[in-house]
C-alpha cells in the first residue's frame, strides 16, 4: 500500500514520537494523577511541562525534550538492567532468595580533583527474615523509612570518610556480612551500627573485626603513567580517601526487575518510597 498523498515523514515521525514519549512521561509522573492539567507552580508540574512534547514543537525542541527527560532526569539510566557480569537471573539463582539492600554513597563533585572521577561507596546487606515471596510494597516502604531515619539528617544524606582500612562485621545468623572501607574503626563501627539499627539487630562487639592492615598508603592523586593496552595512561588511584555522602538506597528482590528504589536524594528515582 502506497503512502497517502501529501504524506509528511516529519509529521508522521513527530506524531509517533510524541505519542510514545508522552506515554512514558505520564507514567514517570503518575504521582500527579490521571487528570493532571499543565501547571508550573509546583516543582514536579514544571518538570512535567518541560518534558511533555507538543504538536507545534520544532525538531530542536523535540530533541531537547528527549535529552531533558532521558539524560537530565535520568529516565534512560533508570531503565538500564542491573549487570552482574552474568545475566541477573543466573546471578540471583546462586544466592538465597533473600532481598538485598544497597546503600550508595558518592563524593561531592566540587571536591573532586581535576581529571578524576568522584569516589563512590556501596554497602549491601540482606534481609534474612524475608524472601521474595514475603517481601511486599508495605514492608519495603517501612524499610525505606528506617534507612532514611539512619542515613538522612536535615533532609540530606550523612557523610562518612572512605579510606583504605576495612572494618568488618559478620553475623551469619542474621545474614550480615559487612566490609566498610574507611579511615578508622570508629567510623566503620558507626556505619555498621546504623545498618544494624535498620535491621533491628543489637550490636555485638565480638562480631566486629578489622582486616589485616596494609602498609601501602591510599593514593588519591597517583603520580606517573603505565602502559595499558598499548598506550601510556595515568596510574589509577588505590583505595582513595574521600568524604562520601549517602545518595540513595535500592533493593533487589529475586525474580523482580528493575530494583525497588527505597530512598533517593538525587532526584533521579521518582518512584522511591522516600525522596528528598
Render pLDDT for 68-121 as a digit per residue (tens, 0 to 9): 888 887 777 655 455 445 555 554 444 557 899 999 999 988 887 777 788 899
Q: How far apart are CA 245 and CA 237, in angstroms?
A: 19
Report pLDDT for 91. Answer: 46
Instruction: Check whether 219 has a pLDDT greater than 60.
Output: yes
Nearest to 125 by CA among 174, 80, 88, 91: 174
Write out the H or E segment, with its range, that includes residue 77: helix 75-78
- Encode burial over 90-105: b for 16+ CB neighbours within 10 A, e otherwise: eebeeeebbbbbbbbb
**pLDDT for 16-75, tens place per residue?**
999 999 988 888 888 888 788 889 988 888 989 999 999 999 999 999 998 888 888 777
Write out the H or E segment, with its range, that includes residue 166: strand 165-171
**pLDDT for 119-140, tens place per residue?**
899 999 999 889 999 999 999 9
Q: How far apart are CA 101 and CA 260, in angstroms?
A: 9
Mean pLDDT score across all residues of the chain: 85
Instruction: Check whether 246 has a pLDDT greater than 80.
Output: yes
CB contact at 8 A, 147 and 262: yes
Report pLDDT for 152. Answer: 96
Share of the chain above pLDDT 90, in %: 44
Residue 213 pLDDT class (50, 70, 90 cuts): low
> Beta strands 231-234 and 225-228: pairing type?
antiparallel
Give one DSSP letter per residue of 5-42, joined into a string: TT--HHHHHHHHHHHHHHHHHHHHTGGG-TT----SSS
Report pLDDT for 78. Answer: 59
More confidently predicted of 215 and 164: 164
Q: How far apart are CA 48 and CA 31, in angstroms?
A: 11
Please give the grid coordinates belonging to residue 94. Answer: 546462586
More confidently predicted of 167 and 118: 167
Report pLDDT for 124. Answer: 92
Min mean pLDDT across 72-86, 151-165, 226-240, 257-271 is at 72-86
Instruction: Check whether 216 has a pLDDT greater than 70.
Output: no
The structure's pTM equals 0.66
Mean pLDDT confidence for 163-191: 90
More confidently predicted of 219 and 154: 154
Mean pLDDT confidence for 232-249: 84
Instruction: Check whether 195 has a pLDDT greater than 70.
Output: yes
Nearest to 149 by CA among 159, 157, 161: 157
Amino acid at each position: 500500500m502506497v503512502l497517502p498523498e501529501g504524506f509528511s515523514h516529519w509529521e508522521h515521525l513527530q506524531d509517533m514520537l510524541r505519542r510514545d514519549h508522552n506515554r512514558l512521561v505520564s507514567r514517570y509522573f503518575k504521582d500527579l494523577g490521571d487528570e493532571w492539567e499543565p501547571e508550573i507552580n509546583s516543582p514536579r508540574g514544571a518538570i512535567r511541562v518541560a518534558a511533555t512534547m507538543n504538536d507545534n514543537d520544532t525538531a530542536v525542541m523535540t530533541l531537547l525534550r528527549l535529552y531533558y527527560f532521558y539524560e537530565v532526569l535520568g529516565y534512560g539510566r533508570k531503565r538500564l538492567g542491573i549487570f552482574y557480569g552474568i545475566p541477573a537471573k543466573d546471578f540471583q539463582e546462586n544466592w538465597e532468595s533473600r532481598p538485598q539492600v544497597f546503600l550508595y554513597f558518592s563524593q561531592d563533585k566540587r571536591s573532586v580533583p581535576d581529571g578524576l572521577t568522584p569516589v563512590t561507596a556501596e554497602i549491601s546487606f540482606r534481609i534474612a527474615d524475608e524472601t521474595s515471596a514475603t517481601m511486599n510494597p508495605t514492608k519495603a516502604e517501612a524499610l525505606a523509612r528506617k534507612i532514611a531515619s539512619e542515613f538522612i539528617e536535615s533532609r540530606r544524606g550523612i557523610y562518612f570518610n572512605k579510606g583504605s582500612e576495612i572494618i568488618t562485621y559478620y553475623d551469619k545468623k542474621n545474614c550480615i556480612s559487612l566490609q566498610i572501607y574507611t579511615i578508622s574503626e570508629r567510623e566503620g563501627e558507626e556505619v555498621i551500627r546504623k545498618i544494624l539499627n535498620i535491621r533491628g539487630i543489637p550490636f555485638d562487639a565480638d562480631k566486629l573485626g578489622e582486616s589485616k592492615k596494609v602498609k601501602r598508603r591510599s593514593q588519591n592523586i597517583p603520580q606517573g603513567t603505565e602502559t595499558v593496552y598499548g598506550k601510556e595512561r595515568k596510574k589509577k588511584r588505590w583505595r582513595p580517601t574521600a568524604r562520601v555522602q549517602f545518595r540513595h538506597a535500592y533493593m533487589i528482590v529475586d525474580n523482580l526487575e528493575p530494583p525497588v528504589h527505597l530512598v533517593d536524594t538525587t532526584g533521579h528515582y521518582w518512584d522511591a518510597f522516600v525522596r528528598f
